[in-house]
Amino acid sequence: MKNIVLIIFISVFAFSATAKVVTVGSKAQFNSIDKAIEQASRYDTILVQPGLYKNQKIIIDKPLSLIGEKMPVLDGGNKYQIITVNSDSVLIKGFKLQNSSFAILEDPAAIKIINGNKIIIESNYLLNNFFGIYLQKCKNTLVKNNRIIAKGQKEQESGNGIHCWKSDSLQIIGNKVERNRDGIYFEFVTNSVIWRNISEYNLRYGLHFMFSNNDAYFTNIFRNNGAGVSVMFTKKVVMMNNTFSDNWGDAAYGLLLKEISDCHLEGNTMYNNTAAVFMDGSNRMEVKRNIFKNNGWGLKMQANCMDNYISSNNFLGNTFDISTNGSLTLNSFSENYWDKYEGYDLNKDKIGDVPYHPLSIFAVIVEGNPPAMLLYRSFMITLLDKSEKILPSITPDNFVDNKPLMNAIPL
């Protein structure tokens, strides 16, 4: 990862020996950023001194570095897209960008990059913009250590924090995104990485994937978002070491996996969600070494999911560990720890001697009749579950972990 970032930096700053530094400020060489860009040569550095620059509508159409000194403020006055980039090899660093225009059809942003290659957007503070950072048909672009805060009250009146469309080889690293429609949005984005971001209090999703293949996101925190994280119509995505938490609501989940295939879910922590993971039409997935803790549902796996392998996970304190909407499962469970398992281990190999059926009869009833949840913890339901464990009849026979672990896995 460090080598990739270094390559991008070297590519951007490998300019000619004639490049110079141009200053902008009330007593500097230029008092207008637009004028400085117009007069600057390719690969020059424009250094903007501290201050408030109102009604900014900046267009960068040549390779250069735009750097703020002590966080100058670029204000769009709620009328303009603040920075538009139509060039390769551009660096934007060290600004507070606020109050972009709002327009549903045009999708204005604090920073919009169009057809950019080798772009770096780093260490900026974006406040009260429609879209924060918008990447359209970009390649080899780094978005790093930015803080993006919106004030959207309704989904249709708010844009996304970091919006990426039809792009390749992006790196979204170390950003904090909150109170947008979606925190981070990928559509038709390939070969890209999302790493060490915090996405919280967004109106819809903390992270939203659509038709984006061969990507990875890891070591991110997604919490208190409207519906959690969604990965849809996608294949070959690696999801590792993320935290999904506190996503509550009738249609909320930590992670939604819809119509995806050949993906890898490992080392994630999922707690305090309505449903930790909701799988719908997800096939050939490996789900291993994850923690499902204190969720309403640990894993909701629809009957149209096939050839998934669920192993070495901890299921702790969930109301229901597993739920499904059908009678047939074509998935495999093995060597998971289930805190509701009441079996024994006579040969002391740390694997239960009795197979465990994690799907309770009450979970099946609630899946088909949600109001039945009112009977949860009643004596009748307790008796029903105990009877089902002794004489299984309704829950699928092949929904079983033949090697349940006796102790939780240290993860």
Q: What is the average pLDDT value for the chain, to the nearest integer?
A: 89
Predicted confidence at residue 361, as pLDDT, reads 65
What integer is the mean pLDDT of 239-253?
A: 92
What integer is the mean pLDDT of 115-136?
A: 97
Asked if residue 12 has pLDDT above 50, the reply is no
Tell me the residue ranges of DSSP E strands in 191-249. 193-195, 198-200, 205-210, 215-218, 221-223, 228-235, 237-240, 243-245
The radius of gyration computed from the CA coordinates of the chain, to the nearest angstrom, equals 25
What integer is the mean pLDDT of 232-252?
A: 94
Predicted confidence at residue 15, as pLDDT, reads 46
Asked if residue 8 has pLDDT above 50, the reply is no
What are the phi and psi torsion angles at 318 (to 5°)?
A: -85, 145
Q: For 91, what's the count of Cα atoms within 13 Å in the CB-facing half-sphere?
A: 23
Question: Two tokens at 38?
Answer: 């117009």
The residue among 144, 94, 136, 95 whose CA lies nearest residue 117 is 136
Kindly tell me the sign of the dihedral angle through the C-alpha atoms of 158, 278, 147, 191: negative
Predicted confidence at residue 4, as pLDDT, reads 42
The percentage of residues in the chain with a pLDDT greater than 90, rounded to a whole number, is 73
CB 302 within 8 A of CB 276: no
Q: 69: pLDDT confidence band, cut at 50, 70 and 90?
A: very high
Among 64-78, 99-113, 123-137, the range scoring the smallest mean pLDDT is: 99-113
pLDDT tens, 316-340? 999 999 988 876 678 999 999 999 9
Give the span between the Cα atoms of 68 and 361, in whole angstroms: 61
Coil vs helix vs strand at 23 = strand
User: What is the third-level CATH fold of 1-226?
Assistant: Pectate Lyase C-like (2.160.20)
Predicted confidence at residue 382, as pLDDT, reads 64
What integer is the mean pLDDT of 85-105?
A: 93
